Structure 1
């Protein structure tokens, strides 16, 4: 893996180089093993929280972890193009607009003892901006090369805090073109429901049941690229104990192994249908 500036990463994308990179400020990773028409993203995978913010933060390390999406990068790691955040959403949230990316409150609790100094806030916003420069360059390259593109936008959610039964998988589709891509969405929902978990964990999948797909990552790509479908894909945190702060790596591995084929097949079907 190379440590590269934003400009160097964009240059490599434009040249269609294959590479594994971490950004110069260590805020995100991008690997491109080959140029294909689909991208896997894990914008909330990160847990880094820069040290100058620690003393001023009212949330504990566990509270931050609880609201992040741990292991979502590992679930898609085998695919040829993977982009993922390294920093905690409590520093800045890649799935929110630039204006709202740095929280003042988080999940009903004040985040900072004292308001963030402007230079600290700007440092976080710059990381957010750099990430989206790369996203724009990447999707532009893939749309130009293949005509269409599909993005698997991986997230997770805390299922135990719901007071009703919720699905293992949820697809948020309220901000994509359902008339054009409805069959692709339904096929992805079906694929996800076919995933088999250990320990008798149920595999159910629904559309817009818990979340509707209102994230900035999806909206940014959808608003800037007319031939790219973003599938906001949420897995319930059945792969960890969200209260005891324990990851179940064998469940993560199960998901990763099965997504290798399910995701590949779905992406191939999408390309065959929309690039005719």
Structure 2
């Protein structure tokens, strides 16, 4: 039996973590059409983000590659159809059959249905919730060993582009301060402002849900070889864990 598109762990508390680009697997029919090798796909995915998200008791971890279906894009662009959709890469050996795209979008719908179920349960039990949407980003696109501009590439970019600041501003500031207190360069909206999932959460739960899109610079791995720095990953996970009491307090 094929693995579901999302693995859900449900624990206590009003905080939810997601790692929606952690997955690397492809359905067999998608793999048969894929023109990219594993290493190229992995470089554009967010490997090891599940290990950062794991400090949150309730979490949703995507199992499939974003090249099968991108859960952080609007539904009509969630399946990459051209180079413009995926960093200039030619993803497919030939044009995708419509029925394959339809099946991929069914997986997209299944993910969002499960996400909505989990979040509605948080609202029922706790009244409000925060989603930590864990991602990572490449900073050595010019090749291994490049020196990326640190001013333009914070260690943690917190995307708050669709956050209602009037409602959630104090919570956001507390979170960023707590994370920066762990010795990390944490800044808002420098590289990314958050994607479709954050927007969907804020539109679906305008009064009860806050989504923070966390983009960790891939200093915790070699983005060209795919090898992780386990100690660095553990430090990042501990840093995120340190923010949970403040988030919980801010939701009260």
Report the TM-score when normalising by structure 2.
0.90
Does the 8 Å contact 2:171/2:247 carry over to 1? Answer: no
**Deviation for aligned residue 1:259:** 2.3
Cα distance in 2 between the residues matched to 1:193 and 1:78: 17
Alignment match, 1:18: none
Tell me how large the CA RMSD over aligned residues is: 1.7
1:108-157 C-alpha deviation (Å, 9 max, x unpaired):
12211211112211111111000101111111121122221111111110
Residue in 1 that maps onto 2:145: none
Counterpart position of 1:137: 117
**Is the CA contact 1:73–1:84 (under 8 Å) kept in the aligned structure 2?**
yes
Q: How do residues 47-196 of structure 1 correspond to structure 2 at under 5 angstroms? A: 47-105=24-82, 106-161=86-141, 164-165=149-150, 166-196=153-183
Which of residues 31, 52, 57 in structure 1 aligns to 2:9? 31
d(CA) in 2 for partners of 1:117 and 1:27?
A: 21
Please report how far the alpha carbon of residue 210 of structure 1 lies from its aligned counterpart in structure 2 after TM superposition.
0.7
Alignment partners' CA distance in 2, 1:53 and 1:259: 34
Structure 1 residues 37-58: Cα deviation after superposition (integer angstroms, max 9, x where no partner):
1111111111111222234222
- Aligned to 2:172, what secondary structure does the other structure show? helix
SS of the residue aligned with 1:223?
helix
Output the TM-score relative to the length of structure 1. Answer: 0.82
SS of residue matched to 1:243 = coil
Match of 2:235 among 220, 244, 254: 254
Q: 2:20 aligned to 10, 33, 43, which one?
A: 43
For the 8 Å contact 1:104–1:110, the answer to whether it is kept is no
Q: Secondary structure at the match of 2:42?
A: helix
Q: CA deviation at 1:61?
A: 0.9
SS in 1 for 2:68: coil
The CA distance in 1 between the partners of 2:55 and 2:160, in whole Å, is 25
Whole-angstrom distance in 2 between the partners of 1:73 and 1:244: 19
- Specify which structure has the bigger relative contact order, considering alpha-carbon pairs within 8 angstroms and separated by 6 or more residues: 2
Q: CA deviation at 1:194?
A: 2.3
Greater CA deviation, 203-212 or 105-114?
Answer: 105-114
Residue in 2 that maps onto 1:199 = none
Number of equivalent positions: 241
1:233 to 214, 217, 224: 214
Unaligned runs of 5+ in 1: 4-23, 197-202
